[in-house]
Structure 1
Amino acid sequence: MGGGPEVPLRGREKELLLCVLPWPESTSEKVIKEITDEFPYIDLHYVQEHYQNKADRGKVVIPEELYKRARVLATLSWLPPSASAVPDLDLIQFFSAGTNHVAQHPIYKDSEIPLTTASGVHGPQIAEWVVMMFLIHGHHYISLYEAQKRKEWVNMSGRTVRDAVGQRVGILGYGSIGRQVARVAKAMGCDVIAYTASPRTTPDSKKDNGFIVPGTGDPDGILPSAWFSGTDKDSLHEFLKQDIDLLVLSVPLTKATTHMLSTEEFTLLEKSNAHGTYVANISRGGIIDQPALIKALENKQISGAALDVTDPEPLPSDDPLWSAPNVLITPHVSGGTEAYAERAFQVLKENLRRRRDGGKLVNQIDRKRGY
């Protein structure tokens, strides 16, 4: 049983925790039992949402009599039609890192129901994806693999490898993902610099107050050798001038961050690094002006790009990005892991504790900021 005061039942009914998620309930049995054991006043009802593609996500039909009783909702995309349809709902825990996919929904726009995310559960697997792509690029692995398929022994490319030691990793958006990238990059001997919207000038302001997978990340914010900040172009440009070898984009998609990297920014990167900056985008496709990225790749303004996100998604088969030089594209899979659902339930469990004890929710969305 968990600590803290036990919340009395509302009348004789338990509080309904409605879970509408795409994973089988069996994948999270252990943590679900931990939740029902620690919060005996909660009745957890699980609905697995089945869909074949992203366009069908959130379209599952949930009986009105079920969601009308909900006090807490755990979801990836599905939402009730309006706040009035869920009069007792006082927490929505998203199992996604962001909420831009529901930003136009009435519950997001017109209600004050607290919204929290699963930010923090993606750090390990996405950091591995970023570093994997960086090493594939730096070690010319694609050409080696193509030679293998041709059954050719070609070892000249191995003589031009530029290893990671001493290279500079610039992390645009120093949240849980960026902090784990920093941890791995430092282990390889890289220098790390960070960029955030707000200044982080004190030890306390540099701390990560969100959910952290144990043993990962940079909880105290001590890894960057330099920290840049701002919401204006001049501040961003100062950061991009820092001779960055690997630029990791890890910011939420908002009006302010849309096309954050465009022609002017690629020109700055070209001028600041003679080796060429490698760009890894694991946030949202709209962060980059995609036509400008294609031109930057074609003109060798950057050394290459690794993209787990594109604009739009899925990327149409005739989009010129597919055939741009030195680009690696994956279909928005870097955040996937067998441990995903279980970790997201851990975030939910922590927020149920804070809700019970009157604490500040972890990963709560600021609707005005959009994240």
Structure 2
Amino acid sequence: MPVKPEANKTLRGHKLLVVAPWKVPDDFVAGLAAKFPDLEVVSHVETWTGGGDLPRVSLPAETWKDVTVLLTFTSLPTPAEAPKLQYVQVMTAGVNHLVDTPIYKDTDIAFCTANGVHGPQISEWVIGTYLAFEHRFPQYLQQQREARWDRGNLLTLDDAEGKTVGILGYGSIGRQTARVATAMGMKVHAYTLHPRPTPESRRDHGWTPAGLGDPEGVLPARWFSGPTTADLHAFLASGLDLLVLATPLTEATRHLLTRAEFEVLAADGRAGRTFVSNIARGPVVHTADLMAALEGGLIRGAALDVTDPEPLPDGHPLWTAKNVIITPHISGASLKYFSRILAILECNLQRLADGAELVNRVDRRRGY
């Protein structure tokens, strides 16, 4: 168990380094100065055009040596470069891209995720792509490009009311997706690794934008849990029209969905019913088995913001697979992204000042 830090109301002796592709707003820095007058704030703006992977910047040793708090996407010092570092606030929902770095694997420095930042925009992507598929937007957009009026068979169109969404991984993204789906009249089934039998266990203690998500965990009509294949299959067999993959990528979740899981979705007359939405990580799904499930009609279709491999190479058969919508890992993008990140940072700086536990802290044993 981490040792609870002592209170330090002005954050005397602390230095915050922000390494980000955005300039920290002056009013945010002024607000920190008012709250924590002894906190030193330094920022480095990364050069990034908004496409491709963020570069890992190399900063002078002098920059790192007194840093106690770091806000970053991927740029990390070595333990020797930052001997005073206590807390790293990453700007991503997961830390799977950092687990092999020495400062993560060889120290007990607190790492906190951006859990809660992505819920609004990713839930919009999930529901938006699902509705686009169900209402044939890709087909009609293609017809528009061809200047062709063809309504197709209107007797096969349906809306979402009364349908069931299964959310595999009921974190902040899953909870906001549940909120939106519930507003459309859908039923929610949740799946988590660990049982949540009590109201307290179903609460979300991570950061969430005010008024959003499902912080009390009251939206699911059914809640499934358990580490075994049988536990997962019970969830998948619960009559899902939309399956949302929102779980972190760990060794336990790699290839969580294979042919066996697609066959469960299709069993007992459910073939072609479930639409699969992956906003987790590509390797959560076995790609070849996904393509076979699409081509074989085991599932209705899929929306993929993440793929395996990623980036998806030119000519990969997934590009032309049947009934699939693919976007290039953009579901988390939003103009509000950085402001939400800064809200988490400010929340945790206050907790640091109060000697309280940090929000969104990564449990290294679980990998998230």
- TM-score with structure 1 length normalisation? 0.94
How far did 1:8 drift?
A: 6.3
Matched residues in 2 for 1:58 and 1:147: separation?
A: 40
* CA contact 1:270–1:302 (8 Å) conserved in 2: yes
**Corresponding residue number in structure 1 for 2:87:** 91
* CA contact 1:31–1:342 (8 Å) conserved in 2: no
* CA contact 1:177–1:250 (8 Å) conserved in 2: yes
1:21 maps onto 2:20 in alignment? yes
Matched residues in 1 for 2:343 and 2:133: separation?
A: 35
How far did 1:9 drift?
A: 2.9
SS across alignment from 1:247 = strand
Give the alignment of 1:219-238 within 5 angstroms: 219-238=215-234
Identity of aligned residues (%): 45
Give CA-to-partner distance per residue, 1:198-228, whole Å, 9 cap, x none.
Answer: 1011001101100001111001000000100
**Corresponding residue number in structure 1 for 2:302:** 305
In structure 1, stretches of 5+ residues that fail to align are none
How far did 1:52 drift?
A: 5.5
- Partner of residue 264 from structure 2, selected from 247, 264, 268: 268
Matched residues in 2 for 1:58 and 1:146: separation?
A: 36
- What is the RMSD computed on CA atoms of the aligned residues? 1.6
Matched residues in 1 for 2:177 and 2:12: separation?
A: 44
- Partner of residue 332 from structure 2, selected from 313, 330, 335: 335
Between Structure 1 and Structure 2, the one with more helix by share is: 1
SS across alignment from 1:88 = coil
Give the alignment of 1:250-269 within 5 angstroms: 250-269=246-265
44-53 or 291-300, which deviates more:
44-53
How far did 1:86 drift?
A: 1.0
Matched residues in 1 for 2:180 and 2:364: separation?
A: 32
1:6 maps onto 2:6 in alignment? no
How far did 1:7 drift?
A: 3.4
Are the structure 2 counterparts of residues 8 and 182 from structure 1 closer, same or farther at C-alpha, using a change threshold of 3 Å? closer
- Partner of residue 276 from structure 2, selected from 279, 284, 299: 279
How far did 1:5 drift?
A: 6.1
How far did 1:261 drift?
A: 0.2
- TM-score with structure 2 length normalisation? 0.95
In structure 2, stretches of 5+ residues that fail to align are 1-6
Matched residues in 1 for 2:299 and 2:149: separation?
A: 29
How far did 1:58 drift?
A: 4.1
Give the alignment of 1:106-125 within 5 angstroms: 106-125=102-121
* CA contact 1:139–1:158 (8 Å) conserved in 2: no
Give CA-to-partner distance per residue, 1:281-318, whole Å, 9 cap, x none.
Answer: 00100100001101111111101000000112211012
* CA contact 2:10–2:37 (8 Å) conserved in 1: no
Matched residues in 2 for 1:345 and 1:244: separation?
A: 37
1:60 maps onto 2:57 in alignment? yes
1:326 maps onto 2:329 in alignment? no
SS across alignment from 1:124 = helix
* CA contact 1:270–1:276 (8 Å) conserved in 2: yes
Matched residues in 2 for 1:86 and 1:61: separation?
A: 13
* CA contact 2:244–2:276 (8 Å) conserved in 1: yes
How far did 1:264 drift?
A: 0.2
- Partner of residue 245 from structure 1, selected from 238, 241, 244: 241
- Partner of residue 208 from structure 1, selected from 200, 204, 213: 204
How far did 1:50 drift?
A: 1.4
Aligned residues: 361
